[in-house]
Amino acid sequence: MGQGRGWEGAVLKLMRAKDFAFTVTGAEDVTGDYRRVHFTDGGLLTAIGVHPTMWVRLWFDDAGKPHQRAYTLVDPDPAAGTFAIEFALHEGCASDWARAAKPGDTIEATVQGTGFEEPSPAPSHVFAVGDPASLPAINSLLGALGSAPATIWFEGSLDGLPCVADPDRHEVREVPRKDAGDHLVQRVRADLPELLRATPDPYVWIACDTRTTRALTAFVRKELAVPKQRTHALGYWRAS
């Protein structure tokens, strides 16, 4: 694998990325714009193991050109060799593939760069910024960090989506997507400084579109001086 994937595939191969083939076993629509697809893992979970917020790169055909996107594994079961992936549906080849996915379909995947290091000391408060594409990772993060309270800025609406946030200790602030993500950036810039000052051991986790993630990461690390080991950032998708 890796041939025919352009420069991205070549770079990943040089970085010793591992390739797998997943097979669809079923799918269901969670909402009209959110679809869960179930897979067998092609040996992934045995070879790599499982950790919170674990993600893979799926390869799609985009008018004859390779296109990759990162997705978090949902409910991975190493014993059964199964997991699910949840797709936030919009225009594009990845969403088109998910809409049409049926049992027996296969898709190639690459694993490189995924990992999770539990922050030490444990977070006194978690600050997460995400959207429907990264909701599975947010759910995994909240489960991994135990009883820590959390504030979550969610770009979009959670109506009908499978969010595990506990209202007793997790505050979700829904933010409409406006101005290509700039509205979310400004909201976090306004809210976060005061919240950070109120907690001794914060942990900041950001997973939005690439442009938004870069802007917020620079703000948190450079302007707010949050140490790198107390932050995690990943661009989940590129706005067209």
Is 14 a residue whose pLDDT tops 50?
no
What is the spatial distance between Cα 123 and Cα 158, in angstroms, rounded to a whole number?
25
pTM here? 0.85
Q: Tell me the pLDDT tens digit for each residue of 50-85.
A: 999 999 999 999 999 998 888 999 999 999 999 999
Please report, rounded to a whole number, the percentage of residues in the chain having pLDDT higher than 90: 81
What is the spatial distance between Cα 98 and Cα 211, in angstroms, rounded to a whole number?
24
What is the spatial distance between Cα 171 and Cα 161, in angstroms, rounded to a whole number?
16
* Assigned fold of 6-111: Elongation Factor Tu (Ef-tu); domain 3 (2.40.30)
Cα-based distances in Å from 1 to 10, 59, 69, 108, 162? 10, 11, 17, 8, 34
Q: Over range 41-49, report the average pLDDT.
A: 95
Q: Tell me the pLDDT tens digit for each residue of 100-127.
A: 999 999 999 999 767 788 899 999 999 9
Does 125-233 match 6-111 at the fold level? no
- Domain ranges, ordered by start, for the chain: 6-111, 125-233
* Assigned fold of 125-233: Rossmann fold (3.40.50)
Say if strands 202-206 and 125-130 run parallel, antiparallel, or are unpaired. Answer: parallel
Q: Are 4 and 66 in contact (CB under 8 A)?
A: yes
pLDDT for position 72 = 94
Please report, rounded to a whole number, the percentage of residues in the chain having pLDDT higher than 70: 92
Q: Which residue has the higher pLDDT, 8 or 199?
A: 199
List the structure tokens of 30: 């969670």
pLDDT for position 12 = 43
